[in-house]
A and B are shown apart, each in its own frame.
Chain A
């Protein structure tokens, strides 16, 4: 059984640019959630996808968008990057909705300069 994988591991972007982060869910899972984790803080929920549709969204602006594909892999897109977007971005997959445990990938460390 393959776990959750994310790419790239690290990324450096300039303010105003756009970025796409990728996630491959664990086999058999049908939901994927994305979280932003700033240094020294807990994860903040960005959104969740269930069967390719957005199933919930946290307090993040529309420039954070996502996709889930038929094979349950997922993308997180962030437009017009700001310095405050610098964080660890975590992808998690699971079954059904958020009441069940989620399995996390190693994260993508994004630095915006």
Chain B
């Protein structure tokens, strides 16, 4: 099966707290890519990161960091010192073979609310 699960429907934290968004995936492919996108209230999805299945190095970009663990099929996203502008819905996605072609398979998203 090709599937992405974001078990956290909604998370609410106070500004400056750290927060981790979970992503668990299932795939039968040996080569695949994982993505995180941000969808602010305006609706436009914004690309955050792409990771291929052979690169398990964690990545840090400013206040954002990603932890990819193939052993647990997880690709978690942490925001350090959260800010109100981080409030958005965050999607994890997997490139996989489904319905006879390669496509992006998306999780249901996690709504992140940062309170001032």
Contact = CB atoms under 8 A, between A and B. Distances in A.
Q: Do A and B come from one complex?
A: yes
A98 B102 contact: yes
Contacts of A55: 101
Contact of B107 (A42, A44, A98, A109): A42
13 contacts: A42-B4, A42-B106, A42-B108, A43-B91, A56-B101, A57-B100, A58-B103, A59-B99, A90-B45, A92-B45, A104-B44, A104-B45, A104-B46
A74 interface: no
B42 A99 contact: no
Contacts of B109: 41-42
B35 A101 contact: yes
**Nearest 6 CB-CB pairs, A to B?**
A56-B101, A42-B106, A104-B45, A45-B103, A101-B47, A106-B44
**Residues of B contacting A: mostly:** strand
Most buried by A among B33, B42, B102: B102
B104 interface: yes
Interface string A94-110: 00011111111111010
Interface residues of A, number: 28
A99 B95 contact: yes
Interface in B27-69: 33, 35, 37, 42-47, 50, 52
A106 B43 contact: yes
A36 B109 CA distance: 14
B102 A97 contact: yes
Contact of B47 (A44, A102, A107): A102
Interface in A50-78: 55-59
A62 B47 CA distance: 29
B103 A101 contact: no
Nearest to B31: A99
Contacts of B42: 106
